[in-house]
Structure 1
């Protein structure tokens, strides 16, 4: 489990193709190496991967075929910067939102514009996931916990401050770049529960209509 609060930017040292759709990635880092162990979970651009080897300055992880197809990791090259976050500790401060590291899909940056001390991004919504995007809700973009301030049927907008631009890879992203998207975990669970209850004609009072009336779902059904 992660929070979407990026700890540092790492640098890809090597990306070795092991088979048609499987890779081994090696990433140079500093801060997260302080207490790293074999088998640790580390989010790389929002993708939860397992540490398979490490030394004082870098670690390795395997990218499986499913991860290859669902994320942008295979597009990285030697020298690429990546967002890094260690799994949340039980006694840590929770600063972002619940992020699983299980990316739902990739999306394209449609526009990037400065606005006073902010940078506004307009990003496409992956096919089939529009129902999980709610204005003022949460989304993880390349592992970064962000708030949705505008949502259209096929795109959403986020705003980042200079600190986020400097401390993550999002500041250097451009129009047309591909980013990893993880929808809000709570939104996905709510929809799954209500879908299941609706299909089973449940007598439960937890329905889409009631959730919309209470303000949990924007725009009704």
Structure 2
């Protein structure tokens, strides 16, 4: 589990594609201080497993599903990436619950300076927008952010100078794609609220609940 608080910006050293998967080599510093084989590290919001490491870099395999559903397949050597280690049990929970499992991709359609912040407008699919609410949480390239506004096919976030300088959002441009992860709580709530009648063995229906006063 992650919190969406980026620890450092890494740099892609190489991408080696082998059939349906790829191996990333990523230059890093701070997050390698206590790294171990098998550790989870979020790369632009995608949870990856450390397969090799040295004092200056680590490697991780990216499966075909991740290549297809995220922007990792578009990375090149020297690309900057957001990095976050899995949350430690004694750490502060500064963002929100982030699983590192990307729901889909969004596209930046506007970047607008506003006083001491910058507004990013992100366009995405109805399947993603379904779980986005005003003042709710969204993860963009692994960054925990608060939704300021949302419409039918886009939402907006306001980025403070610190976040711009400490993450790759500071170098993003209009037209570029970003990884999106919806707030997991909304997805669980939706699942739990589905009618029990969806189960073939259940005799509880919406009509029955109305008759008994619900």
TM-score norm. by structure 1 comes to 0.89
Instruction: Kindly state the Cα deviation for residue 192 of structure 1 after the two structures are TM-superposed.
Output: 1.4
Distance of aligned partners of 1:73 and 1:117 in 2 relative to their CA distance in 1, 3 Å threshold: same
Q: Distance in 2 between matches of 1:197 and 1:145?
A: 33
The equivalent residue for 1:7 is 7
Distance 2:27 2:153 in 1: 36
User: How far did residue 126 of structure 1 move?
Assistant: 2.7
For 1:189 and 1:167, how far apart are their aligned partners in 2?
A: 31
Corresponding residue of 2:56: 57
Structure 1 gaps, min length 5: 211-221
Match of 2:85 in 1: 86
Residues 126 and 152 in structure 2, CA contact (< 8 A), matched pair in contact too: no
List per-residue Cα deviations over 1:165-193 (Å, max 9, x = no partner). Answer: 00000111011000000000101111111
Give the RMSD, CA atoms, in angstroms.
1.6
Equivalents in 2 of 1:135, 1:97: separation in Å?
Answer: 15
Shift of 1:127: 3.8
User: What displacement does 1:130 show?
Assistant: 1.9
Cα distance between partner residues in 1 of 2:71 and 2:25? 16
Q: 5+ residue gaps in structure 2?
A: none
Task: Name the SS of the counterpart of 1:110 in structure 2.
Answer: strand
**Higher Cα Rg: structure 1 or 2?**
2
Structure 1's consecutive aligned runs of 4 or more residues displaced over 6 angstroms after TM superposition are none
User: 1:36 and 1:187, CA in 2 relative to 1: closer, same or farther beyond 3 A?
Assistant: same
